[in-house]
């Protein structure tokens, strides 16, 4: 990661939220595209050494992203993000949950509401993008599992994957 690009991970125990801020050396349109296109999400949205495999992406309000987090051994862990609100190129609010391969949400865990805000940061040449993510957990148990250094490191890892991808698609 470029040391001039901000990364912040703050845990708010009282509100059961995690706030993540991260900057990317790419314009907001490119970061938005990488965040909302199945073929691009599959190239970055997993902590190393895992990978993401999209089964369905219906990117619209009322739509959803259903994908597997695939381990190096090929084991699949399914998730589903239901899109509540989308402001193109500005923000996405989604409900995240574990699911099965068919996309049925697991009743064992309360859903996490996540809002991702995309902001342009003007620089001398071009622009950078700041992503601000707020994860609000529906269950204390899930919050406790995620309010950890391990989650911070995993999240940082997959955002570094996005840095690498942005460099390759920015040069095309």
**Minimum mean pLDDT range among 2-11, 107-116, 120-129:** 2-11
pLDDT at 1 (0 to 100): 44
Please state at what angle helix 149-170 crosses helix 28-36, rounded to 10 degrees: 110
Strand partners, 120: 129
CB atoms within 10 A of CB 107: 8
pLDDT at 172 (0 to 100): 56
pLDDT at 107 (0 to 100): 87
CB atoms within 10 A of CB 13: 10
CATH of 10-147+158-167, one of 3.30.530.20, 3.40.50.300, 1.20.140.10, 3.40.570.10: 3.30.530.20
Rounded CA gap, 132 and 8, in Å? 9
The pLDDT mean for the chain works out to: 92
What would the mean pLDDT of 140-152 be, rounded to a whole number? Answer: 90
Cα 41 from chain centroid (whole Å): 9
Residue 61 has pLDDT above 90, yes or no: yes
CA distances to 41, 65, 122, 128 from 51, rounded to whole Å, are 10, 15, 32, 26
CA distances to 31, 39, 69, 96, 99 from 107, rounded to whole Å, are 32, 29, 19, 12, 9
Residue 165 has pLDDT above 90, yes or no: yes
| Among 13, 1, 27, CA closest to 119 | 27
What would the mean pLDDT of 71-83 be, rounded to a whole number? Answer: 97
**Minimum mean pLDDT range among 2-16, 27-41, 59-73:** 2-16
Q: What pTM did the predictor assign?
A: 0.91
| Among 61, 44, 94, CA closest to 53 | 44
Task: Give the count of alpha carbons within 13 A of 164, CB side only.
Answer: 11
What would the mean pLDDT of 44-60 be, rounded to a whole number? Answer: 96
pLDDT digits (tens, 9 = 90+) for 150-162: 989 988 998 999 9
pLDDT digits (tens, 9 = 90+) for 80-123: 999 999 999 999 999 999 999 999 998 888 899 999 999 999 88
| Among 40, 79, 81, 78, CA closest to 58 | 81
pLDDT at 171 (0 to 100): 57
């Amino acid at each position: 990661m470029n040391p001039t690009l901000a990364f912040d991970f703050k845990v708010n125990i009282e509100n059961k939220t995690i706030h993540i801020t991260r900057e990317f050396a790419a314009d907001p349109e490119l970061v938005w595209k990488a965040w909302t296109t199945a073929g691009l999400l599959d190239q970055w949205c997993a902590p190393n050494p895992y990978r993401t495999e999209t089964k369905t992406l219906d990117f619209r309000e009322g739509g959803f992203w259903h994908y597997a987090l695939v381990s190096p051994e090929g084991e699949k862990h399914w998730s589903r993000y239901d899109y509540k609100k989308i402001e193109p190129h500005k923000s996405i609010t989604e409900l995240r949950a574990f699911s099965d391969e068919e996309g049925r949400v697991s009743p064992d865990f309360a859903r996490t509401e996540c809002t991702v805000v995309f902001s342009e940061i003007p620089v001398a040449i071009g622009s950078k993008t700041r992503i601000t993510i707020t994860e609000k957990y529906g269950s204390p148990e899930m919050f406790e599992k995620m309010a950890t250094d391990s989650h911070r490191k995993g999240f940082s890892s997959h955002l570094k994957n996005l840095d690498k991808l942005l460099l390759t698609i920015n040069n095309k």
